[in-house]
Amino acid sequence: MEKRKLVTPNDISAALQEIGVQQGQVIMVHTSLSSLGYVCGGAQSVIEALIKSVGEEGTIMMPTQSWKNLDPLAGVYWQEPEEWWPVIREYIPAYDKRITPTNTMGAVAEMFRQWPGTLRSDHPARSVAAWGRYAQYLTENHDLSDIFGDSSPIGRLYELDGSVLLIGVGYDKNTSLHLADVRAEYPGKHMVVESSAIELDGQRIWKAYETLAVDGEDFSLIGEAFEKTGKVRHVPLGNGILSMMSQRELVDFAVKWIGESRK
């Protein structure tokens, strides 16, 4: 087992500079803090380094999904007895972007959603948070049904020619690949109806919405294939690896891969 390494804020800043993060960039970031080893200052140090690296003219975006805010019948409460599901459904709080915590997004994303100046989108299950120049543009009008499509935050990141930065995580956590799900054509492509607890006119209601069925099961395979193009930069940090790429190049590649390979 690899010995756990010590990571300082200076180490993070140096790694970000080495991988090519620059002032003014727009970057979607996915992070596993624990994969890096022991980070002095924890999530705060990572966020501060990211913000400093892109500056006031730059933008940082992270997934802040609260996917537990779905009908338990969708299977998201598989760890709890099925007979509890109706009660859980009755008491799930309505989504509140100021309060609702992230689900399995990691310590960095959970702190980032509460960071001063950060804006969060209104999707009750699949929100993102963003800080910086394009934060409002990326997070506003996050349509219930167009979770990952052209009008969504990741669709807008594509318009801005943004980058994707993976900090200690793999392609299975690369949300931008869902934009390729939307754009690609493949035999199994279909829609599903989901529902979430929201607040409408001061009342908590369950709101149903139709959206594309996605699961991300082949995202790691797409990542392996994309890596072979040589368009991904890698830099070590502590016990982990930083990987950075153009979101447009990734999505365009994935659309073609899915069309040729997915059933």
158 closest CA partner among 61, 232, 37, 24? 61
Cα(241)–Cα(166) distance, integer angstroms? 8
94 closest CA partner among 194, 211, 209, 195? 195
Mean pLDDT of 39-62: 98
Burial 16-49 (b: 16+ CB within 10 A, else e): beebebeeebbbbbbbbbebbbebeeebbbbbeb
- Give me the domain span that covers residue 247: 6-66+103-187+218-261
**Is the residue at 206 inside a domain?**
no
Q: Are 156 and 138 in contact (CB under 8 A)?
A: yes
**Is the residue at 197 inside a domain?**
no
* Out of 39-43, 207-211, 213-217, 231-235, least confident range: 213-217
What is the per-residue pLDDT for 55? Answer: 98
2 pLDDT more than 90: no
**Is the residue at 98 inside a domain?**
no
pLDDT of 155-211, one tens digit each?
999 999 999 999 999 999 999 999 999 999 999 999 999 999 999 999 999 999 999
Mean pLDDT of 253-259: 98
102 pLDDT more than 90: yes
What is the per-residue pLDDT for 1? Answer: 80
What is the share, in percent, of the chain residues with pLDDT greater than 70?
100
Q: How many distinct structural domains can be found in the chain?
A: 1
What is the share, in percent, of the chain residues with pLDDT greater than 90?
98
> Crossing angle, helix 9-19 and helix 42-54, to 10 degrees?
40
pLDDT of 117-169, one tens digit each?
999 999 999 999 999 999 999 999 999 999 999 999 999 999 999 999 999 99
**Is the residue at 136 inside a domain?**
yes
**Is the residue at 207 inside a domain?**
no
Tokens 């990952």 appear where?
A: 148
What letter does residue 147 receive in the DSSP assignment?
A: S
**Is the residue at 80 inside a domain?**
no
* Out of 39-43, 108-112, 205-209, 212-216, least confident range: 212-216
**Is the residue at 111 inside a domain?**
yes
Cα(242)–Cα(20) distance, integer angstroms? 11
Record the pTM. Answer: 0.97
Tokens of 228: 């072979």
DSSP 168-233: S--GGG-TTHHHHHHH---TT--EEEEEEEEEETTEEEEEEEEEE----TTHHHHHHHHHTTT--E
* Mean pLDDT of the chain, nearest integer: 97
**Is the residue at 212 inside a domain?**
no
45 pLDDT more than 90: yes
Mean pLDDT of 70-80: 96
